[in-house]
Amino acid sequence: MFQIKDRRKVKGGKKEKIKCVLVGDGAVGKSSLIAAYAQDTFREDYQPTAYDTFNVVVDVDDRPVCVEICDTAGQDSMSELRALCYPGTDVLMLCFSVVRPETFRSVAERWTRAVAGVNAPLVLVGTQSDLALDGRTIQALRARGEHAVTEVEARALAAKINAVYVETSAKTRRQLKDAFDAAILAGLPVISSKRPFWKKLLCLN
């Protein structure tokens, strides 16, 4: 099994580099995921993103890999700016909030089309899973005739778009590392050619 160690500074030596781009509707928690993973912080407030990049170094079986993580805006008005970050992408993380079903539908109806021209593997990421257990959130969804996106629903979409699915929470860190591990493994050329193998090993799909 491939081992991805905790992030640490690696001095000297040649590093492989991959580019990971996060896309999805605004306020689904893309920036919070990145902050929790790359900076070990949690952002309570929502601040719209234009375009930000973060770099972390991980060890994949003792191979240092530099991961460039790109945070993009979800607003339609930012589509031209967002498109500028697609060239050179090695893996895409399509993000939606499990407690905002409209953002899940948006992945299926909007984002898969938006990135159709990007030749990169996909990781479907359900965010804010901690809120799926929050009574007020569930009650508010029921009042609108909606429900939190289930794992079965998410995995069905993942299978349809040939993606791995990971459900996570930036606040509790639940499966946070798993989500980025999946993206890193998918983005590495040598490993991405054997996706069914590592998907089975990681038990993500």
- DSSP readout, 129-150? GGGGG-HHHHHHHHHTT--PPP
Asked if 122 and 165 count as a contact pair (C-beta separation under 8 A), the reply is no
User: Alpha helices, DSSP H only, in 59-175?
Assistant: 79-83, 101-106, 112-114, 135-143, 151-160
Contacts of 64 (CB under 8 A, 6+ apart): 10, 13, 14, 15, 16, 57, 58
Query: What is the reported pTM?
Result: 0.86
Percentage of the residues of the chain whose pLDDT score is greater than 90: 69
pLDDT above 90 for 149: yes
Domains and CATH numbers, the chain: 16-187 (3.40.50.300)
28-40 pLDDT tens trace: 999 999 999 999 9
pLDDT reading at 55 higher than 50: yes
